[in-house]
Amino acid sequence: MKKILISLLAATSFIGLSYADTKNHATEISEKSRETVALRTLKAKPNTIQVYAKGLICESCGIGVRKKLQKLKFVDKSQPKRGIIMDVHSQLVSISLKPGKSIDVEAIKKAVKGAGYEPITLYSLNAKKLKSISLEN
C-alpha cells in the first residue's frame, strides 16, 4: 500500500509540475505571432524562406523534414543544420536558399507532406515586407 501511495504521489507531482509549466506556454500561437517570428527571422537571415508546417512540434519526429527538404536543389546545404532549421514552438521551418536559385513551391509541399506534416504557408521577404503564399490544397 505504501508503495502504491509513493507511486501515485510521484506521478501526481510530475503531472502537476508539467501542467503548471505548460500553463505558461500556449500550445497554439496566433497567426500574427507566427508572422512576427517569420519576419524577424527573415530579416536576420537573407536568402531564406520560412514554411509553416502544421504539427511540427517535435524535433525528433521532424527529422524527416530536414531529410526531405535538404534534397531539393535550391537548398543551401552549406549553412548550419544543412540549411534547414526547425522551430517547434512556432512550427516554422527555415530554409536557406542558394544565391540566385528559384524555389519550387510544389517540391517544398511534397517534401513537408512526405515528412508527415501539413504545409500551410510559405513566408518570404519582399521589399522588407513579409509576403505569404498559401500552400494548402
Partner 1 sequence: MKKALFSVLVISCYSVVQADQPVMSKMPRWSNGYGFQFVQEYRHKRDLLLGDKKVGKGLTEDVHILNIEGVYTWERWIRLTAKIPYIMHAEREIINSQGNVEKQTDSGFGDLTLALPLKKYFNLDGRSGSWTLAPQLRVPLAHQDEYSIGDGEWGVGLSIGYETETAEWFVGVGANVWTFEDEEPFELSAFFDFGRNLFGYGTSGQITWDTDLKWEDDGSYILKAGPALYWKFTDTIHGRVEWKHDFIDYRAVLDHGNGETIKIGLGFVY
Which residues are at the interface with partner 1 (CB under 8 A)?
3-4, 6-7, 10-11, 14-15, 18, 21-22, 25-29, 54-68, 88-89, 91, 114-118
According to DSSP H, which parts of the chain are helical? 2-23, 31-44, 63-69, 105-114
**Taking the complex as a whole, how short is the minimal distance between the CB of residue 14 and partner 1, in angstroms?**
5
**Taking the complex as a whole, how short is the minimal distance between the CB of residue 128 and partner 1, in angstroms?**
27
Three-class HEC string of 10-21:
HHHHHHHHHHHH
**Taking the complex as a whole, how short is the minimal distance between the CB of residue 41 and partner 1, in angstroms?**
17
For partner 1, which is the closer residue by CB, 3 or 129? 3
For partner 1, which is the closer residue by CB, 86 or 125? 86
**Taking the complex as a whole, how short is the minimal distance between the CB of residue 109 and partner 1, in angstroms?**
14
Identify the bridge partners of residue 49 per DSSP, sorted by sequence position. Answer: 95
- Asked if 131 and 125 count as a contact pair (C-beta separation under 8 A), the reply is yes
Q: Edge-to-edge, what's the strand order for the sheet holding 92-96?
A: 84-87, 92-96, 48-54, 118-126, 129-134
For partner 1, which is the closer residue by CB, 56 or 125? 56
For partner 1, which is the closer residue by CB, 127 or 136? 136
Helix, strand, coil % in the chain, rounded to nearest 5: 40, 25, 35
